[in-house]
């Protein structure tokens, strides 16, 4: 029987602790942060997607044949780690600058990153998680 392997990559800032794996709209199972799960699926054409609460991914279409294994990894959107890290860095720099140098406007540098995060938390919620074939 064909197998589907899904890996949820582990990151230090990952909000996603577990994901639901959907095959053709039906739940296959759950994958936890940093783990890989295997699912038995019938051969043929499939559309998989993942979901974690409000967040989700776009559907990925693939075909699988008897005794074949397809592997996919799931991560947050492309620049998610960079954006979250930059938010923390600007806040720390703002704190240092306002405490020691009386500069109080650096916190405004967070606005672009906050707008991007707002998009992924609202309109782009189905772009938040990305499925890549290994």
Closest CA to 129 of 12, 45, 48: 48
Is CATH 3.30.1240.10 what the domain over 3-77+125-133 is classified as, yes or no? no
Burial zone of 48 (CB within 10 Å; 0-12 exposed, 13-18 middle, 19+ buried): buried
Domain-wise residue ranges, the chain = 3-77+125-133, 80-120
pTM of the model: 0.74
Q: What confidence score (pLDDT) does residue 46 get? A: 92
Is the sign of the CA dihedral 36, 41, 47, 50 positive or negative?
Answer: negative
The DSSP symbol for 111 reads H
Helix (H, G, I), strand (E, B) or coil at 116: helix
Q: How far apart are CA 19 and CA 110, in angstroms?
A: 29
Residue 11 is predicted with a pLDDT of 64
Residue 125 CA to residue 123 CA, distance in Å, equals 6
Residue keyed to tokens 């582990």: 10
- The segments of the chain whose pLDDT lies below 70 read 11-16
pLDDT score for 38: 92
pLDDT of residue 22: 92
Whole-number pLDDT of residue 72: 93
Q: Which two tokens stand for residue 125?
A: 């919620």
């Amino acid at each position: 029987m064909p197998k589907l392997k899904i890996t949820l990559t582990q990151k230090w800032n990952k909000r996603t602790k577990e994901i639901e794996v959907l095959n053709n709209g039906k739940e296959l199972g759950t994958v936890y942060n940093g783990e890989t799960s295997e699912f038995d699926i019938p051969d043929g054409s499939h559309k998989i997607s993942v979901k974690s609460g409000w967040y989700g991914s776009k559907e990925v279409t693939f075909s699988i044949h008897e005794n074949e294994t397809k592997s996919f990894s799931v991560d947050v959107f492309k620049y998610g780690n960079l954006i979250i890290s930059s938010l923390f860095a600007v806040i720390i720099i703002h704190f240092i600058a306002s405490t020691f140098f009386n500069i109080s406007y650096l916190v405004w540098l967070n606005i672009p990153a906050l707008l991007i995060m707002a998009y992924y938390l609202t309109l782009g919620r189905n772009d938040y998680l990305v499925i890549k074939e290994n």
